[in-house]
Structure 1
Amino acid sequence: MKITRQKHVKKHLSFYRNNFRFREPYQVLLDGTFCQAALRNKIQIKEQMPKYFTGDVQLCTSHCVLKELESLGKELYGAKLVAQRFQVRNCAHFKSPVSGSACLLSLAADGNAHHYFIATQDQELANKVKKRAGIPLLFIIQNTIVLDKPSPKSLAHVQASQASQLVPEHEKQNLEHLKDEQGVAQVPERRGRKRKGVSGPNPLSCLKRKRKNPTQAAEPAPDQKKRKRKRNRKKALEKDALKTA
């Protein structure tokens, strides 16, 4: 199972590196539920997270997450101590804190420009993360840290970007003129190179042969020339014989 788990995390990390430009050190935002689950399952996050990623990891949280854990009382005091060991990212709610889930979503907004992973056990937060492209999700299952597979939203975003790269620039400029009645741009089909079919006969070979001019006399064959010479010589000998007689 450990080998299969390592294959899965390598595959998912490769997807985010190639399509969303994630790089080491990987930045992981943790909420209170994840810290509480790690404490309950005796998971040393600082030690096990880099081993799971097989690379450098920066563990971080926010002021809102710490305030939320503090407000929940003694039951989550241990989770608060765990979260305080991580880097605290500045958020826009310093003066008026919001819930930890809302804060983490705001930090990963605008296309997740800082390439955050979100680690949570909150199912509602996880569902919201899956509706955004390019935000990897981490959770704990059976005493193990798990990187969730890419969401359908992330896969659809990658497919759309790859399809747009296949359309030539001059066709992209004409998409505005190809919108249907509902306002949806129709991408024209890309025509491939025309194959050469079976070529026909040479048109010059189909022309009729030119007939010779009948007024021009045909040149006699060599045998005919020799016969004429013999006849002329025979006539000349007959004339000489008549003269001598």
Structure 2
Amino acid sequence: MKITRQKHAKKYMSFYKYNFGFREPFQVLLDGTFCQAALRNKIQIRDQLPGYLAGATQLCTTRCVLKELESLGKELYGAKLIAQRFQVRNCSHFKDPDQDLATKVKKKPGVPLLFIIQNTMVLDKPSPKSLAFVQAMQANQLVPEHQKQSIEHLKEEQGLVKEPENRRKRKRAGGPNPLSCLKKNKKVQETQQPSAAKKKRKRKRNRAKSEAKAVSVQLSVKA
């Protein structure tokens, strides 16, 4: 199961590299929920995350995340200590902590989501917004073939591609089969041969009759 999740993570990261220019170190923004889940499941974020994403990472958080953890009291004190270890970025909504970050992130193309499920970090598959953005980009410019294949494969996984209905192929009008013609010609020749032989036999019989008549006439004249 772990190997399968790592394969999916590698495939999804390749999608972001090819289509959105992701480069190492990957910048990862951590919120309070992720820090709390890592603490509960004894996950070392700084040590384990680079191996899971197959690349160097730069971990950071925001002031609104720290403020939210502080407002929740002692229950999330440990998560607050973890978040404080990372680089703190300024944000425009410091006065109003964002409690629905995941939903808003899915509405923006090119932003992957990382969760902790069953003691394991899981990278979510690209959102429909990301796939639609790349598809629109492909329609406006030439895109490498490997990029198109990655998009189609991910869309099939999410059920966004409908398989074409089976259509009956129309038979094209064409000439007769040359083999069938040969067979017919052979049959015609076979049927013609006996008729020609019959005609020759008739001719021989007619000649014989005429000769016999001539002989009989001569005999009668001599008599």
Alignment partner, residue 222 of structure 1: none
What is the match of residue 139 of structure 2? 163
Give 1:126 shift. 2.2
How far apart are the structure 1 equivalents of 2:3 and 2:71?
41
Give the corresponding residue for 1:125: 101
Secondary structure in 2 matching 1:88: strand
Q: Render the CA deviation track for 1:80-113: whole Å, top value 9, x for unaligned.
A: 00101111012234xx522144xxxxxxxxxxxx
The aligned residue for residue 178 of structure 2 is none
The 1-side partners of 2:98 and 2:76 are apart by 14
Deviation digits for residues 186-229 of structure 1, max 9, x if unmatched?
A: xxxxxxxxxxxxxxxxxxxxxxxxxxxxxxxxxxxxxxxxxxxx
Question: Which amino acid letter does the alignment assign opposite residue 136 of structure 2?
Answer: A
User: 1:36 is matched with which residue?
Assistant: 36
Could you list the runs of 5+ residues in structure 1 that have no partner in the other structure? 102-123, 167-245
Q: Secondary structure at the match of 2:141?
A: helix
- Counterpart position of 1:79: 79
Alignment match, 2:13 = 13
Q: Report the Cα distance in structure 2 between the residues aligned to 1:16 and 1:131, rounded to whole angstroms.
A: 16
Alignment of 1:87-236 (within 5 A): 87-93=87-93, 97-101=95-99, 124-165=100-141
RMSD: 1.3
Task: Determine if contact 1:24/1:55 at 8 Å carries over to the other structure.
Answer: yes
Contact 1:32–1:100 (CA under 8 A) maintained in structure 2: no
Post-superposition Cα deviations, 1:154-205, rounded to whole Å, max 9, x if no partner, equal 1011011001115xxxxxxxxxxxxxxxxxxxxxxxxxxxxxxxxxxxxxxx
Q: How far did 1:2 drift?
A: 2.1
Write the letter of the residue equivalent to 1:20: F
1:56 and 2:56 equivalent?
yes
Matched letter for residue 92 of structure 1: S
Give TM-score, length-normalised by structure 2. 0.61
> Which residue identity does 2:96 align to in structure 1?
V
Cα distance in 1 for partners of 2:102, 2:80 equals: 21
Query: 2 CA distance for matches of 1:47 and 1:58?
Result: 12
Q: Relative to total residues, which structure has the larger helix share, 1 or 2? A: 2
SS in 2 for 1:132: coil
Q: In the aligned structure 1, how far is the partner of 2:23 from the partner of 2:49? A: 15
Q: Which runs of 5+ in 2 are unaligned?
A: 143-223
SS at match of 2:24: coil
How far off is 1:132 after superposition?
Answer: 1.5
